[in-house]
Amino acid sequence: MVGLITKDLLALKSYGKSILFVIIIYFIIGFFMGNINFYNTMIIFMTAMASINLFSYDNYYKWDRYAISMPLSRNKIVMAKYISAYSILLCGFMYCIIIDFINSFVSKDGMSLASYFSLDFFYFILCSVYISIVIPVIYKMGVEKGRIFIIALFVVPFVIIMILANKENTREIFEVVFSVIEKAFSENSFITILVIFGVFLSSIVFNIISYFISCNIFSKKEF
């Protein structure tokens, strides 16, 4: 299984220059916005999106046909994919933690280091849920169809929220909601910690279910 994980990580080497370029662009945008949270959010979500690229490489080189011929169970092949995706996501999260630590010495936005960590951890959890949805969908629908479904699944609600947030009759509601969320993270209250812990436990359940669904789909696939 270690070899499968190593293969996935090495496959992303060609993706490395693109990641570096995007990191620089987001850093510049975040710097001029004076908002490091924007930068960290985009970095974490970008590393989560890398899980789709893992499947793209496998699909291009017909990797699964070769993998099932090896003395490995299909469940281990699936597990290796999950571990690879979370390893990449964890690297993005740790990078953001380092940025937060540096930012805490230079920023004057009033947020504590613990608040930054809490916010990043919350995004990390959301991205883990995203991965738990992405992997079974791609196993079931394939890379190309799965990509369209995933984009629709996340972009459509986002567009709807943005439209409603800009309407006069609903704008005030969204402003109140966003202000409450921002205040909760800035104060790092007990309720905030409780919510994050609850979402964390839910994400674990999501991923366990996701893994078994993926194993069931992959075990029935014919190559």
- In 3D space, the residue among 102, 99, 119 whose CA is nearest the CA of residue 196 turns out to be 119
61, pLDDT greater than 70: yes
- In 3D space, the residue among 158, 163, 140, 126 whose CA is nearest the CA of residue 49 turns out to be 126
187, pLDDT greater than 60: no
171, pLDDT greater than 60: no
**What does the pLDDT read at residue 209?**
94
80, pLDDT greater than 80: yes
Band (91; pLDDT cuts 50, 70, 90): confident
The pLDDT tens digits of the residues spanning 117-128 come to 777 888 888 888
- The token duo for 201 is 């436990």
CB 157: neighbour CB atoms within 10 A? Answer: 10
Which one has a higher pLDDT value, 52 or 16?
52
- Cβ atoms of 185 and 115 closer than 8 Å: yes
- What average pLDDT does the segment 29-44 reach? 72
**What does the pLDDT read at residue 120?**
80
34, pLDDT greater than 80: no
161, pLDDT greater than 70: no
- The token duo for 200 is 């964390």
- Cβ atoms of 74 and 14 closer than 8 Å: no
Dihedral of alpha carbons 28, 31, 36, 37, sign: negative
- The token duo for 144 is 């190309």
Expressed in angstroms, the distance from the first to the final Cα of the chain is 21
